[in-house]
């Protein structure tokens, strides 16, 4: 085998490992963010739990860390000395039990990540920076398939190169046997040029595919940025808000119930946007965020007139001017309570995966067609619903003998103009 083929073999193997390692490290980062970052920093800083810097040195060796993470309660109850020590040192604050939520593999990935966290950006800027930008990108998730495609193309090119030189040396040894002259090895780029000359159409198709994939990823990026949206229905509308409030962080990672903030959603027509007092329930204590430090949370203090240094409300109040995203025209009547409580509809049916959104985006077109299509296909939730006990009987009477009839919303008047229009 010539040099070239060996080198490329190593290259391919290296790339393969680089890819698989990248995926593993990423899983660990993501799992840590989702499950642990609320209570643990990777530095010395104490949040609810101790900072995890140096934990591999102070915790008992072997499977101790794994057992602790999966079920710390069991370990404490078993009388384990170190477990009881940190439990008492932290004022008997309870850590979550992760058994059943995380697998052994997940915990391994998390521990690998805790052992080798990504360096904070601008490592010279001091130890204070705990929210590395790189980490955020990793958390944003999976590798773009486009990169995988490009990676695959590179690997295939390398393998073709290797096979080429193998073929060349085989050809030469054959030529030697037959007593023919050795053939010149033409350069790779020359051969590529020749090949492309002979396969113009294939090359054209290939360029089109790459071009299209590139355009598609630009398009997706624009969509994510909120640059693209449907002008007619405002689907995709995602205005920047005065405070970088993240639903992913609050409702997703920290699992705060939607109703905690949108507390009229089960009681009235409106879901409501929380007042700054609700933010202060937690942010009187939480003065620093993982991504923006004190900057964004300071805006909550400004709005409520709170002075974080003295802990008193002595400043002027300036209500936060949130920009409304969902807007039905005035002539339409829509009621949250009816849909959420009576109709038992999940928020996600109409608002999409809000728990995963850093910035809320309108996910449904809010057109008449959209309302009606759902009313046509959604069955009324009648089981155990006192509100419907009476109506249920009446309907049974009306549709006697047609047991398989589906009581969708349209059958209870969900298509009547006056129900939706003032």
Question: Cβ distance 76 to 87 under 8 Å?
Answer: yes
For residue 251, state whether it binds ligand HEC (rule: CB under 6 A): yes
* Smallest gap from residue 17 Cβ to ligand HEC (A): 25
Report the C-alpha gap between 295 and 289 in whole angstroms. Answer: 9
Q: Is 417 in the site for ligand HEC (CB under 6 A)?
A: yes
* Among the listed residues 258, 264, 300, the one whose alpha carbon sits nearest the alpha carbon of residue 279: 300
Q: For the CB of residue 189, give the shortest distance to ligand HEC in the complex, in Å.
A: 49
Q: Residue number with the shortest CB distance to ligand HEC?
A: 289
Residues between 21 and 40 with contacts to ligand HEC, criterion CB under 6 A? 35-36, 38-40
| Token couple for 116 | 């080798």
Does 367 sit near ligand HEC (CB under 6 A)? Answer: yes
Stretch of residues binding ligand HEC (CB under 6 A), selected from 152-160, 170-178, 346-354, 399-407: 346-354
350 near ligand HEC (CB under 6 A): yes
Identity of the residue, 164 or 244, whose beta carbon is nearer to ligand HEC in the bound complex: 244
- Nearer Cβ to ligand HEC, position 161 or 289? 289
Judged by CB under 6 A, which of 43, 45, 84, 90 binds ligand HEC?
90
**CA 44 to CA 55: how far, in whole Å?**
10
Give the span between the Cα atoms of 237 and 103, in whole angstroms.
38
Residues in 180-239 at the binding interface with ligand HEC, rule: CB under 6 A: none
Q: For the CA atoms of the chain, what is the radius of gyration? A: 30
Q: How far is the CB of 36 from ligand HEC (least distance, A)?
A: 3
User: From the CB of 67, what's the least distance to ligand HEC, in Å?
Assistant: 11
Tokens read off for 178: 């037959």
Region from 13-21, 158-166, 218-226, 271-279 binding ligand HEC, contact rule CB under 6 A? 271-279
Cβ neighbours for 301, distance < 8 A, ≥ 6 positions apart: 283, 307, 308, 315
Contact positions with ligand HEC (CB under 6 A) in 158-177: none
Shortest spacing between CB 262 and ligand HEC, in angstroms: 4
- Are the C-beta atoms of residues 354 and 362 closer than 8 Å to each other? no
Q: Are 51 and 58 in contact (CB under 8 A)?
A: no
Burial class, 18, CB count within 10 angstroms (exposed 0-12 / middle 13-18 / buried 19+): exposed
Cβ 76 vs Cβ 121: under 8 Å: no
Binders in 315-334 for ligand HEC, by CB under 6 A: 322, 324-329, 332-334
Nearest Cα to Cα of residue 293 among 130, 138, 135, 137: 130
# chain residues binding ligand HEC, by CB under 6 A: 102
Residues in contact with ligand HEC, shown as a per-residue x/- string from 106 to 145 under the rule CB under 6 A: ----x-----------------------------------
Of 7-15, 45-53, 176-184, 196-204, which part binds ligand HEC (CB under 6 A)? Answer: 45-53
Q: For residues 49-68, which are near ligand HEC according to CB under 6 A?
A: 49-50, 52, 55, 58-59, 65, 68
**392-411 positions binding ligand HEC, by CB under 6 A:** 409
Q: Which stretch binds ligand HEC (CB under 6 A): 3-11, 179-187, 195-203, 342-350?
A: 342-350
- Region of 293 (left: φ > 0; alpha: ψ -120 to 50; beta: rest) is left
C-beta atoms surrounding 284 within 10 Å: 15
CA distance between the termini of the chain: 82
Closer to ligand HEC by Cβ: residue 151 or 293 = 293
Kindly state whether residue 244 participates in binding ligand HEC, applying the rule CB under 6 A.
Answer: yes
Question: What's the Cα-to-Cα distance from 362 to each of 27, 230, 239, 353, 403, rounded to whole Å?
Answer: 29, 10, 10, 10, 38
CB atoms within 10 A of CB 197: 9
Q: Is 380 in the site for ligand HEC (CB under 6 A)?
A: yes
Stretch that binds ligand HEC, among 5-13, 16-24, 220-228, 374-382 (CB under 6 A): 374-382
276 contacts 304 by C-beta, under 8 angstroms: yes
Q: Of the listed pieces 9-17, 157-165, 219-227, 361-369, which binds ligand HEC according to CB under 6 A?
A: 361-369
């Amino acid at each position: 085998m010539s040099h070239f083929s060996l080198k490329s073999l190593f290259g391919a193997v290296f790339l393969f490992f680089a890819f698989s390692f990248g995926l593993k490290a990423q899983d660990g980062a993501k799992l840590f963010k989702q499950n642990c970052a609320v209570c643990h920093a990777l530095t010395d800083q104490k949040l609810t739990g101790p900072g995890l810097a140096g934990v591999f040195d102070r915790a008992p060796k072997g499977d101790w860390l794994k057992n602790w993470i999966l079920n710390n309660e069991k370990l404490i109850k078993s009388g384990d000395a170190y477990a009881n020590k940190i439990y008492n040192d932290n004022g008997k604050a309870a850590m979550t039990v992760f058994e059943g939520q995380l697998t052994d593999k997940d915990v391994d990935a998390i521990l690998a990540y805790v052992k080798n966290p990504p360096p904070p950006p601008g490592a010279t800027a001091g130890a204070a920076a705990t929210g590395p930008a790189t980490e955020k990108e990793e958390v944003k998730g999976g590798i773009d398939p486009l990169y995988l495609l490009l990676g695959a193309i590179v690997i295939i090119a390398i393998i073709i190169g290797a096979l080429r030189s193998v073929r060349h040396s085989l050809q030469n040894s054959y030529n030697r046997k037959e007593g023919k002259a050795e053939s010149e090895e033409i350069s790779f780029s020359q051969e590529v040029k020749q090949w492309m000359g002979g396969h113009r159409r294939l090359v054209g198709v290939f360029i089109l595919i790459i071009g299209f994939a590139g355009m598609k990823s630009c398009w997706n990026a624009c969509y994510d940025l909120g640059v693209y949206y449907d002008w007619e229905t405002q689907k995709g509308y995602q205005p920047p808000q005065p405070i970088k409030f993240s639903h992913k962080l609050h409702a997703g990672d920290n699992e705060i119930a939607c109703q905690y903030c949108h507390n009229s959603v089960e009681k009235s027509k409106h879901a409501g946007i929380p007042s700054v007092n609700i933010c202060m329930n937690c942010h009187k204590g939480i003065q620093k965020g993982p991504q923006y430090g004190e900057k964004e949370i300071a805006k909550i203090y400004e709005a409520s007139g709170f002075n974080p240094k003295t802990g008193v409300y002595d400043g002027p109040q300036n209500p936060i001017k949130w920009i409304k995203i969902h807007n039905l025209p005035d002539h339409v009547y829509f009621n949250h309570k009816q849909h959420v409580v009576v109709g038992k509809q999940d928020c996600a049916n109409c608002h999409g995966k809000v728990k995963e959104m850093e910035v809320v985006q309108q996910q449904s077109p809010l057109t008449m067609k959209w309302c009606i299509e759902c009313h046509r296909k959604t069955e009324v939730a009648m089981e155990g619903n006192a509100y419907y006990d009476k109506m249920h009987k009446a309907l049974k009477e009306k549709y006697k003998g047609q047991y398989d009839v589906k009581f969708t919303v349209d059958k209870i008047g969900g298509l009547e103009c006056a129900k939706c229009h003032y």
